[in-house]
Amino acid sequence: MKLYYSPGACSLSPHIALREAGLAFEPVLASTKSHKLQDGTDYYGINPLGYVPMLELDDGTRLREGPAIVQYIADLAPTKNLAPANGTMQRYRLQEWLTFIGTEIHKGFSPLFNPAMPEEAKEISKAKLKSRFEWLDGQLADKEYLMGEHFSVADGYLFTVTNWAKPTGVDLSGFANVNAWHARVGARPGVQEALKAEGLVK
């Protein structure tokens, strides 16, 4: 398998999932600025949408979109308990979390990375994000992880996008449960491996 990624981008989520699952894969750096691979290959030829992540299977099949990719990875390593079994209510709960993270948190940060976005619009986005993190803080009040006692691919995704708070100026200092959860996830060996591989920590 190959994972096309860019350091610190949302592709960190499936990168974490692959490390947590203990699966063999080849990380392939795909610049989100130049849209070129390190050998000069045009990344648009691999993913016409131009963004990461993209998972390429050994038979050449390609899978786009982080929430789909992380569930595929989790299902390849069922004993790792990264996702509940398909068809169960708990699996739908996982999908509920992945959708919330994608639409309410991930996309909430998007305007903050856009240099053309007016400051007034950025402040509106920050306020909306903080309201979502306030709700999340309550959800994490009595849980180790989003789904309860066990780390899931939803935690890897939320960890990835929560990392964007500091560089974009979203103040999460008042959310004790979110911060404790973030530290817990960040200390996991699989997460540390992914962060080190992408050059995000020493």
Residue spans of the domains in the chain: they are: 2-80+190-197, 89-188
Superfamily of domain 2-80+190-197: Glutaredoxin (3.40.30.10)
* pLDDT for 33: 87
Q: Are strands 26-29 and 2-5 parallel, antiparallel or unpaired?
A: parallel
* pLDDT for 63: 98
How far, in Å, CA of 95 to CA of 25, rounded? 24
Q: What is the pTM of this model?
A: 0.96
Residue with tokens 């309550």: 138
Count Cβ atoms within 10 A of the Cβ of residue 195 and give its class: 0-12 exposed, 13-18 middle, 19 or more buried.
Answer: buried
Helix (H), strand (E) at residue 5: strand 2-5
Residues of the chain with pLDDT below 50 are none
Q: Which residues in 154-167 are b (16+ Cβ under 10 Å) and which e?
A: bbbbbbbbbbbbee
Contact 107, 99 (CB under 8 A): no
Please report how the helices 66-76 and 153-162 are oriented relative to each other, as an axis angle in degrees rounded to 10.
140
Was domain 89-188 assigned CATH 3.40.30.10?
A: no
How far, in Å, CA of 154 to CA of 101, rounded? 8
